[in-house]
A and B are shown apart, each in its own frame.
Chain A
Amino acid sequence: MTNQIINDLTIQAATVNGSGSQTANLILTRAIFHMGIPVAPKNVFPSNIEGLPTWYQLRVTTQGHMARRDQVDILIAFNPATWHQDLRTVRPGGVVVHEEVFSTAEARTDVTYYPVPFSKLAKSKIQNDTLRKQLANMIYVGVVAGLLGIPWEALEHAVTRQFLSKPKAVPLNLDAIKVGFDYWQDNFSKKDPYRLEPMTGVVDQKVLVEGNQAAALGALMGGVTVAAWYPITPSSSLCENLIAYAERFRTDPETGEKRIAVVQAEDELAAVGMAIGAGWAGARAMTSTSGPGISLMAEFAGLGYYAEVPVVIFDIQRIGPSTGLPTRTSQADVGFAYTLSHGDTKHLVLLPGTVEECYEFARDAFDYADRFQTPVFVLSDLDLGMNLWMTPEFKYPDKPFDRGKVLSKADLERLAGEWARYRDVDGDGVPYRTLPGTDHPAAGYFTRGSGHDEHARYTESAESYAANMDRLSRKFETARTALPAPVIDESAGSKIGLIAFGSTHAAVLESRSALAAAKLPVDYLRIRALPLSAQVVEFVSRHERVYVIEQNRDGQVYDLIRLALPPALVDRLRSIRHYDGQPIPADAITEPLLESEAIPV
C-alpha cells in the first residue's frame, strides 16, 4: 500500500449515551497509549442520562498534540440517529466503519467503507444477555484494532487496566473484542492508508489523567480537611474523586474514622458557606462547582474577601450564560470570578493550563488561601477537567504546608495578648489571625462582613473603612508577585506574541508549530494567575502585535490586559476568541492569525 498514514489520525466514535460506549472508547485509548503512541481523547457528550447522541474523538499524533482537531479520519458509526450527519464529517479519503444496516443510499464515494453487522454479531456471539448492550460496543474496539493493527497484547493490557477493580469483567470484554477482531480478519482486506505502529520514547513516564482527578489528588496533597459541594456538571467528578481517594488514603482502617469531612450540601450557597466556616475555624477547606454555582456563591465570596477567610473554590467552567450548555466547555467565568461579589471585591485566581497544573495549583491553592487569608479560585474547565490528558507523572511536594500568619497560644503569650486581627504589622497588607479554640483570653475576635476596624470591631468610621480597604489592596499587590508567574517562551524571537491561559494552551502549542512552518514563528506567554503579573505588560512592550486567545465571546482576559497596559501599548493587543462550546482547535488560532498578519495560507 502506498502513502501510508502512520500514527497520525483522528478516530471519531459516534454512539448513544448511556450504552456503555465510554468504556469501549477508553479501552481503545489505553490500548493505543500502551503502544507508546501519544493520544488525545475528547468526549463530546449530551446533558442527558441515556439515549442521546454522544461522540468520542480520539486523536493520535506522533508529536503528541493534545488539542481537538476538526478533521475526522476514521468514523465509527454506531448511532443510526446521527449517521448521515456523521458521514459528512469524515475527511475525503477517510474511513467509515459502520453498522451494516445503515443506509448507504446517499453515501459518499470519497471514503472507504467497512460495513460490520454489529447488531447481528452481538446477538449471535455474545452470550451474556444482561451485558449484551454494553459488550456490543467492544466489538467495534476489535474491528478498529484489526483495521489499524493494534496488537492483542495492548488490548489485553487496556482491558485489564480498565477493570482493575472488576477482574471478572476482563475475559467477558476481551471475548467481545475478539468477535470484532476476528470479523475484521475474516471479512476485510485493508483498503485505506491508516495504520498504527508501536513507538518508543515519546510516552515514557507519562500517564493519562483527567483534570478533575488531578485536582482531587492535588487537594488531598494540599491537606484539605473539609470539602463541601453540590453536584453540578462538569465539576462533580472532582469531589467524587476526592471522596474515593479519601476513602483509600484518609480513612483509619481500624476505627473507620476519617481525616476529612466531605459534605454534599443543599446548594452552592451552603457549600461555599460550609467551606468558609471551616476555613475560619482553621481547616484547609474547599468547594467545587461550575458556572451556575459560582453565581450563587457571589454573596459568600464577598464575605470571604472582606472578613479575610481562607477557602479554595474550584470552578470547572462550562458554557453559559445561565444554564447554558452544561456539557460544553468554556473560559467565560474568568472575568466574573475575578471580581465575584458586590462592592470592591477582587480575588486571587489560578489558571491551570495542563492536568499537571490542575494537580499543582489545587495543592498550592491551600497555601495561597492560608497565606493571603482570602478565597482562592482555581479555574479549570470541562475540557481540562473531564477529558483524559497525557501528562508526565506528578511530582511529590517538596515543601511543607504554608499555614500563613496564625498566632498560637505561645505567640499570644509572647505578645502579652497585644494584637489586632486586621492590623498590617509587616507592611504587606496581610494581617495575623487566631483560630477558634486557641486557649488564650486575647485570642477571640468577632469576624464580620460588616465594616470593621483593626480589632474587628464594628465601625462606620470613614477613616477606618478606607484604611482597611487600602490594606486589602496592599495585600492583593503582595499576592500579585507571589502567585504562579506566567510561562514565557520567546525562543522564536518574533515581533508577534501570543497570550493564552488555561486549556487553550494545547491548541496554542500546536498552532505555534503550524505558524512556524508557515514562516510566522511567534512568541508565547501563558498567564497562570490573576491578578496579572507585571511580566504580561513587559511581554506586550517587547512585541509589535500580541494576540490574546481565549475561549469566551467577549475577550475577558484581553480586556483585563488592556486595562493593565499603558495607553501607548493598547493598540498592540488583538483578540482571538473561540466560543462554540467545543475545545479550541489549533486551526482556530492559526487561521485568523495568518489572515491578520496577511500571510497566505
Chain B
Amino acid sequence: MSATINRIGLPRDAYKGAATTLCAGCGHNSITNHMIKALYELGVEPHRLAKMSGIGCSSKTPAYFVESAHGFNGVHGRMPALTTGAQLANRQLIMLGVSGDGDTASIGLGQFMHMIRRNIDCTYIIEDNGTYGLTKGQFSATADLGSVQKKGAVNTFQPIDPCAVALTLGCTFVARSFSGDGKQVVPLIKAAIAHRGTAVLDIISPCVTFNDHDGSTKSYSWIKDHEESIADVSFIPFFEEVHVDYEPGTVRDVELHDGSHILLKKLGEDHDPTDRRAAMRVIEEGRSAGHLVTGLLYLDPASVDFATTERIPESPLVDLSEDELRLTKDEFAQFMSEFA
C-alpha cells in the first residue's frame, strides 16, 4: 500500500470531515481519528458509507469524518431504526452507526436491543463517557455505581453494561475499548465493519469537561490505571495476506465472512472470543475486580444477518424498477377477479 493513497486510490484526507466542535481533549475526537484511519486503511468507498447517529455529543461526530459520505443525524435513541430501514433498502451500503451512552443505554435501549436481536448488518459504536455532556453533566445509565459527579453527587444506581446486554441478546460481535487506545480501537473498528451482522463496540471515551475528575470511573486517569486488555488485536483485511510470525499457541486467528482475519495475541489468561459464556465470565470477573476489561469479547464468525435471513437480495431494493415491483396486467386482473 502506498504511503499516500489507499487501495482504492484515495488519500487519507478523503476520509476527513468538518472540523470538530467538541471540547478540546474529548475522547470522541480520538475515536473520530481512529475511524478515519480504519476507513482509510480498509479502503472503504465513501459513497457506500452511511454514517448514522442519534442525538448527543457522540452523535455529532459523523460530521467529522468522511465528509463526502452520506450521513444521517436522526432523533435521540432511534438510530437503530433508521439504520435498519436504510440497510434493508440498500444492502450495498456500509452502515456505520455512532451513538453515546445516553442515546444507547437510556432513551434508545429498546431499539439497541432489538437491532441486536435482529442482527442488522451494521457497526454500532458507543462513545461511552457515562455522562450527559450536551445538557451539562447529568449521570447516564452507564455510570458506575458509586461514581462521583463533578459537583459531588454519587451515583446510586447499577450501571447498564452495553456489552453484557449485547451478549445476553446473542449479539454476534461484542468488543470494548478505550478511546486513548488507538492500537486496539482501529483494528476493532476494521473487524466490526468486516463483520456481517451487528457489531457493538463500547468505547470508553472520557468527557473532559464533565466527567474527568477524581472519583469518576470514566476519567482518563482511572481508565489508564484500570484498563486490562485481554489480547492484542490485529486485523488483516481480505485483500492482504496473513503472514505473521508467532509462537504456536500464542495467537488465535479468526476468519471473518469476507475473508478477513482477526489475530488475537494472548496477554494474560487465554480467552476464546467465540465462546459466549467465556465472554460473560470475563466481563463479570473484570467488574468484580474493578477492572475495565477491553478487547474483542465475543465474535460469531458464522453470523447470519437480518437481511440474509429475510431473503432480501444483495442488489439494492431501491434499484428495482416498476416492472419488477408492480403486478403484471394479467396478474392484476386475475387478482381482482378473486375478490368477486
- Residue numbers of A with Cβ under 8 A of B are 161, 164, 206-209, 213, 217, 220-221, 223-226, 228, 249-251, 255-261, 263, 265-267, 269-285, 299-300, 303, 393-394, 396-397, 400-401, 434-450, 457-458
Contacts and interface: CB of A to CB of B under 8 A. Distances in A.
B336 A281 contact: no
A299 to B, nearest CB: 5
Contact of A303 (B18, B75, B84): B75
Contact of A281 (B71, B85, B312): B85
B241 to A, nearest CB: 29
Contact of B84 (A217, A263, A401, A441): A263
Given A267-B110, A447-B71, A437 B90 contact: yes
Nearest to B85: A277
B320 A259 contact: yes
Nearest to B18: A457
Contacts of A299: 75, 78
A250 B311 CA distance: 11
Given A270-B114, A439-B47, A446-B63, A265 B88 contact: no
Contacts, number: 215
Contacts of A257: 311-313
Interface in B81-135: 81-90, 92-93, 110-111, 114, 118
B322 interface: yes
Contacts of A393: 336-337, 339
B50 interface: yes
Given A164-B338, A208-B339, A270-B114, A444 B67 contact: yes
B302 interface: no
Interface string B309-340: 01111001110101011110101110111111
A223 B338 contact: no
Contact of B74 (A223, A259, A260, A303): A303
Interface of B: 18, 45-48, 50-51, 62-63, 66-75, 78, 80-90, 92-93, 110-111, 114, 118, 307, 310-313, 316-318, 320, 322, 324-327, 329, 331-333, 335-340
A274 B85 contact: yes
A283 B317 contact: yes
A114 B55 CA distance: 68
A258 B311 contact: yes
B50 A261 contact: no
A208 B337 CA distance: 10
A460 to B, nearest CB: 11
B85 A273 contact: yes
B307 A261 contact: yes
Given A220-B327, A256-B311, A258-B311, A281 B86 contact: yes
A265 B331 CA distance: 30
A226 B88 contact: yes
Contacts of B92: 437
A225 B18 CA distance: 34
A274 B92 CA distance: 17
B89 A266 contact: no
Contacts of B325: 220, 223-225, 250, 259, 284
24 contacts: A207-B336, A226-B85, A255-B311, A261-B88, A267-B110, A272-B81, A273-B78, A273-B82, A274-B84, A275-B85, A276-B74, A277-B72, A277-B81, A277-B87, A282-B89, A283-B88, A283-B89, A285-B85, A436-B90, A437-B93, A444-B67, A445-B70, A446-B51, A449-B73
A189 B170 CA distance: 69
A221 B328 CA distance: 10
Given A270-B114, A444-B70, A281 B89 contact: yes
A440 B48 CA distance: 10
Nearest to A208: B339
B89 A207 contact: no
B81 A261 contact: no
A601 B322 CA distance: 55
B78 A300 contact: yes
Contacts of B74: 273, 276-277, 303, 447, 449
A164 B68 CA distance: 54
Given A221-B327, A256-B311, A260-B317, A443 B70 contact: yes
B94 to A, nearest CB: 10
B317 A225 contact: yes
Given A207-B336, A258-B310, A274-B84, A225 B73 contact: no
Given A208-B339, A221-B327, A444 B322 contact: no
Nearest to A272: B81
A440 B80 CA distance: 26
Given A259-B320, A278-B86, A442 B68 contact: yes
A166 B241 CA distance: 59
A299 B188 CA distance: 34
A453 to B, nearest CB: 13
Closest 6 CB pairs of A and B: A273-B81, A277-B85, A277-B82, A278-B85, A283-B89, A282-B318
B322 A401 contact: yes
Contacts of A225: 89, 317-318, 320, 325
Contacts of A263: 84, 88, 118, 310
